[in-house]
Structure formats: structure tokens, C-alpha cells
Chain A
Amino acid sequence: MTKKIFVFITGICLLISPSMTLASFDEGAKEVFEVMKHLDMQGHADDDFSTCSIQQLYYKEIEEMLNDGMTKDEIVQSYVDEYGQAALREPGKDGNGLIAWGMPVIAFLFGVIIVSFGMKKLTNKQSTIKTDSLNEHPSISETEAEILKETFDEERRKHF
């Protein structure tokens, strides 16, 4: 019985192994490009892949690392370990990089506060709202009211 199980498992492994080989990463693998998109590649990230030897070198390295079983994050991290934050196309999410990410949020919040104060200062709810009779009509929109008004004026000018 044990022998049969052993033969069965061996058979299964033999069946699976070709498909495992097929699953390895080769040229054109989407995953390789996905990793490359995060990397600055020593300033060559936007170069033409077909003529840039640096990009091609990175491509081969990443392909090998993927075939060695490394995940995308691990590969990216390996480059950060080697070259520091300069390896990436975006600032890290810690240390100095936090300032790069945090500043837009702080600036936006600061802007919101200023605009809120500004609006409060500029808004006077007690002021008289000048609306014409057409605009006050509940069934027509502002656009319709304006267009009707303009058309009436136009017709009036034409005829009188």
C-alpha cells in the first residue's frame, strides 16, 4: 500500500513539474515590469528599454530573483538595502520620506482652515439676495431662467 502511495505521489510530482517550469518568470513577465516601475534604476527609469543597458540589466536581475522565489516587495526591499531610498522612484513611508508624503496633507488642511475662515468672513447671510422673478420660480433652474431672460431681452431688442 505504502509503495502504491509512493508511486502515486511520484506520478503526481512528475505531472506537476512541467507546469511548475512553465510558471517560472521569463521575458515579458508582467511581474518583472511591475517591480521595475518602483525602481529608479540609477536615473534610467524612463529610458527606452530597447536601448538602455541599465534597464535590461535590472530586468535580468529581477527576473532571476522572481525565479528564485522572492516576492515583489522583497525584491524592491533588496534594492533599497543596497542603494538606500535613492533606489526607489518615490520617497519611503518612514523617516525623511514621511515629510514628503505628509506635507501635501498638512498644506491642504492649512488651506481648508484659511478658506473656512475666509468664507466665514466674506459671507453675510443677512444681505439682500437679488433674484428676479424668473429665478424665484421653483420649477425652472437658474440656467433656464437666465436663458429665458436673455432670449426675452434679445427679442425685445429685435422688435423694439
Chain B
Amino acid sequence: MYVLGNVALYLGIGLSIYALIANIIGIKKQDQRWLESARGGVLSIAFVASIAAFLLLYLLATSQFQYKYVYAYTNEQLPLIYKLSAFWAGNAGSLLLWAFILSIYTAMVVGVKKRYTGMTPYVSSLLLLNIIFFFVVIVLNANPFEMTATIPADGNGLNPQLQSPGMVLHPVTLYMGYVGLAVPFSYAIAALIMKKMDSDWIKLTRRWTLVAWLFLTLGNMLGGWWAYLELGWGGYWAWDPVENASFLPWLTVSAFLHSVMIQERKGMLRIWNLSLVILSYLLTLFGTFLVRSGVLTSVHAFGEADLGNYFLVFMAFMMLFSIYVVASRYQLIRKESNPIESYFSKESSFLLNNLILIAGTFIVFWGTMYPLISEFVTGTKVNVGPPYFNKVMAPVFLGLILLMAVCAVIPWHKAVLDRFFRNLTIPFLTAVAFAAVLVVLGVKGIYAIVGLSAAVFMFATHILEFARGVKARRKATKENIFTALVKLTYKNRRRYGGYIVHLGIAIVAIGVVASNAYPEEVMKTINKGEQLSIGNYQLTFEGLTESESRGNGIVHGNMSVTYKDKDIGKIAPEKIFYATWPEPSTEIAIKSNWREDLYVVLNSWESEDKATFLVKVNPFINWIWFGGFMMVVGTAIALIGGKVNVLRTQTPSSTRI
């Protein structure tokens, strides 16, 4: 196994270098045989990377503690699913996962013959550069197949906080998004190298970009959900440096997905779109650098300084290379394009959208790096935490929501003011009425009311857009409402998929604003039989009990719960004492409904009849998860079908540098 694993890794390096060289020779000599050989090399890399990945999974599943990685992150008692999840618990495994996903993506780029164009060898060469980098780092610094001197009887086990369904899904989805951005980047640079300044690369990468965005969204949502359930991670979004690092490419890709439509329609913003794609890719490397280097304190950090340096050097190289390619093709990129006809048009609103998204990107980047900058320049450490980000990002998000609200009713080319206002009347009045109802009901907090009303405004605008579409279809086809809605969405997947994403964002916004503005919190020590009240809930302490599971001792804080004097069952937060981990973990208990979460923590106890509980009521939390789900569904709808309309006019042999 040791030999097989290491051979797979070294073969990965060898094959990547060979495929890269074969590509370069094939392009130079315009020789189809070399290009075919390179293609075979890429497919072989995917094969050896798969062998390495499945081998590590096998070692983890069968508890082969003679391997340092298996010993460090698993033990006998660990459930199988977490043994397998330990694949990405440490540096070595997560880098192998990265290399594996990247090699699969590269194989997908070159594997489909009918999509193999003159650009493909360039694209695969750039992706191969990335693959070489990852394999080299794995072999030199983070080899998951390294062995221990003696065979230990049992392993260290997995950090209890990582023993959660979140661990199974969140890292993989996020990596799939991160790695996915290498593909549009490679297409963009390939187009520049080939001096092909049309929008073909954009059409070819639309799906890749959307897939990457989908996984980034899903990864961030799952991460938020996991952090919400896990104490000590600051809630669903703590503006932790590594969370920010995954949010940055999400923002830039969001900007790209909008501005790219202007290039498709008008041939404009070529440099801008190229810059966004390059920036998004570099930000994924930056994020990885943050995680691996430990330069900033984070709950996610693996903290291996050497690895951070590798990423820093690679990021600098790719950045300089991209700048050189863009600068050397600058005059070619600046071609004639169709002008925007009016300041008041969808094109202009997309430019504004890009301004806000990029401003948001800068703010998050600035806030994340400021502690380092401040310490470097003044020698004084300054913390930049959630209070800062909440304050500076709130206007950015509000601006985005309002823009998304009005953007849906602004047509391409030129908007007519009369029609614009007429289309916005109902959503605007709905938002105003909503705000008035909140005030009448005694809801406090002007900023929260403004935020919630803006989200309602945006939601209503998009619902009305659907209604208009359905009405128009029914007028022409006499279909029933459901059929008209389904066909409307199906026939215009990109547009209505996007609208569903926007609806999801509105729902997430309501959840975020409400849960931040109106949480309730109580911490109290109570005796058995005593009650604790919060909001409309009453919790009666029924005493502590103990149990054992897989060698771990568990203390349960049993409580019965009533809501408005109606019994709604029991709740039992826990403290788990692990046999193989020094720190106990606190497991929260939640009673959830569409309106709010009752969130209970067993803090401490004096005896089995007297304990301290921290109880919170978090309003509208489930809206965040539901909104996130809608965003993913909307993106998936936008992705389904749709042909790649790129003529295969350039065969590899007809391509010139």
C-alpha cells in the first residue's frame, strides 16, 4: 500500500510534466499526435489521482495506524463515515483531495472529444501547471502515505468538533467550488495566449463558472449551518479570516456572472471580465494560503507555515503570469464594442451591481488583512471582528438588495421611466405596508426594519416578474398556472433560475437580519423542578442523567418545554467527555420551527439537581438554510440544458500561437 500510494503520487508528477511538455510540443509543431498523447496523459493523471484518493480512503476505513495520517486523525471507535471524512481533516489529505478534484476536472475538460477545440491544449496546460504544483507540494511536504516508526495500537481520533455531518459535506463542496474556478481562469488565459478576443471562452466556461459558484454557495451555506450547531465557532457567520477567504471568490464570481452578460450582448467589458475571472482564481489561492499558513488566527487554520509559503510563491507566480498575459494582449482586448444606449438600462444596473460587489470584496479583503497590515506598519495589533464587518458590510448588502429589487424590472438597452415606476409600484407598496405593520406591531430597530422591508421589496419584485411571465404565457397558450410557470421557467432557465437565486437571497437576508436584530438570550442556574422562561417558552429542568456511547461519557440536561403553555416535548443538551480527547464538547439541543429556534446549551452543573443553562431564541434561522437551498436550486436550473454554442472551427492543427 505504501509503495502503491507513493508510486501514484510520483506518477502524478511525472505524468503531469509529460502531458504539459507534450501539449507544448503539440501546439508548437501543430502535431495532433503529441496533443493526443497529452490528452491521454491527462486522463492517466485522473486515474492515478483516483488510485491515490481511493487508497487513502481504504487506509482510513480499515484503520491502518501504521500510516501517520490515519493515526493522526482517526481511531478504532470512530464511526466509518467520520473515518472517511478524516480524508480532508489534515493538510496532506485535503491537498490530495484538491489534486484529485483538479485532475478529474481537467480530465472532464479534455475528455469529451466533441468539445475538444483548439483552445483545449492551452487550457489543459494551465490546469496541468496547477496539478504539478499540488502533487509536488504533497510529495515534498504533506505526504498522506508516510508511515510511523512503530505500529500504534490505536489512533489519536478525530477532533470531536469535526465529528458532524457538516464535516462530511462542507469541505468537499467548498473545494469543488474553489478548484472549479481554475477552469474558467485557464480558459481566459488560454484565450489571451491564443489572441482570441471574442466571447467564445465565456460561452465555454459559463457552466464551469456556474458550477463553481453553485458549490461555493453550497459550501458556504453548509459551513454556516455547521458553525451554527457547533459552539465556539461564533455562530453561522463569524467573519473568520478563512470564512472571508471563501466569501471573496463568491463575491467576485457573482460580479462576473452579471458582467459577463454585458459582454455576451454587447461585446463590452472584456478586460473587466478577464480581470474578474483571474481575480477569482487568485482569491482561491489566497484563501488556501490563509488556511495553510496560519498567518491569521482562525478556527479553520491547519497552521503549517511551510505550506503557506508554497502557496504564496505559486500565487505570486500565477498573478505575475496573468498580469503579463493581459498586459501583452491589452491592445487586442480593447476592441470596438456596442455602446450602452442609456444610463437607465440593465447594462448600467449590472455595472452598479459590479461596483457594489467589488466594493464588498475589497472591504472583506481589507478587514481580513488589516490586523496584519496594522501590525506590520505600526507594530500595534488591532482586531477586526464581526462588529466591524457587520457595520461596514450592512450598507453594501442593503445596496445590493435594493439594486436586485429594481434590476429585475429594468430592461436591456433602455428603460422607460413610466413603465419602470409602474412595475415597481406594487412591490414598493408591499414593502412600505410591511414596514408599517412591523412598526404597528411594536417591532423595534429602524435598521432592521429597513433591511427586512428591502428584502420584502426585492422578493415582491421577483414574484411579480414570475407572475407577469405566467400571465403572458397563459394569454398566448391558455395553459393552467402551474404548467405555465413550469414551462416559463424551463424555457428561460438562465433568467428564471437567476430569479430563483435572487428569491433565495431575499429569504436569506430576512433570516440574517431578523436573527441578528431580535435574538433573545438567558443564562440561568436552576434546580430540578424549577423553570426558566424565554420569550414564549418555558423550560422545566428535570435533572441530569448520564449515559455512555462508544466509550464516551455523556451528561444530559433534561428539560421539558412548553410554548405558550402548550407542551411541545423534551429537550436535552449534552456535555460529552471523550475517552481519547482531552477537552469535553458541548452539544446544543434545538427545537426548531419556521419562525424560530429554541437553542439550549448545558453550561455547567453543581449537582445532578442543579445546573446552569444558556438558552437562546434565534428568530428566522431556518430561513437562512431554506434561502440557501433556493439559491442552489436556482443555480441548478440555470445550469440545466442549454447548448454550448461554440463552433468547432478551430481544430488543434489549425491553431497558431
Contact = CB atoms under 8 A, between A and B. Distances in A.
Contact of B355 (A88, A101, A111): A111
B341 A124 contact: yes
Q: How large is the interface on A (under 10, 10 to 19, 20 to 34, 35 or more residues)?
A: 35 or more
A90 B384 contact: yes
Given A96-B374, A124-B339, A147-B472, A89 B521 contact: no
Nearest to B234: A46
Contact of B469 (A38, A85, A129, A147): A147
Given A43-B297, A119-B343, A123-B343, A50 B586 contact: yes
Interface string A121-143: 01111010111000100101111
A104 interface: yes
B472 A148 contact: yes
Contacts of B471: 144
A112 interface: yes
Contacts of A141: 409, 419, 423, 468
Contacts of B384: 89-91, 100
A104 B370 contact: no
A88 B472 contact: no
B469 A90 contact: no
Interface in A91-109: 91-92, 96-97, 100-101, 103-104, 107-108
Contacts of B551: none
B341 A27 contact: no
Contacts of B367: 100, 104
A115 interface: yes
B2 interface: no
Contact of A112 (B355, B366, B583, B584): B355
B340 A147 contact: no
B378 A115 contact: no
A33 interface: yes
A51 to B, nearest CB: 6
Interface in A37-96: 37-38, 40, 43, 45-52, 84-86, 88-92, 96
Interface of A: 27-28, 30, 33, 37-38, 40, 43, 45-52, 84-86, 88-92, 96-97, 100-101, 103-104, 107-108, 111-112, 115, 118-119, 122-125, 127, 129-131, 135, 138, 140-145, 147-148, 150-152, 154-155
Query: Which 9 pairs from chain A and chain B are nearest by CB?
Result: A89-B385, A124-B339, A46-B234, A28-B523, A142-B411, A147-B472, A48-B232, A48-B231, A90-B388
27 contacts: A27-B525, A28-B522, A49-B614, A50-B603, A51-B583, A51-B584, A84-B380, A85-B380, A85-B381, A89-B383, A90-B383, A90-B387, A104-B363, A104-B392, A119-B340, A122-B268, A122-B339, A124-B339, A124-B341, A129-B413, A141-B419, A142-B419, A144-B469, A145-B472, A147-B468, A151-B476, A155-B476
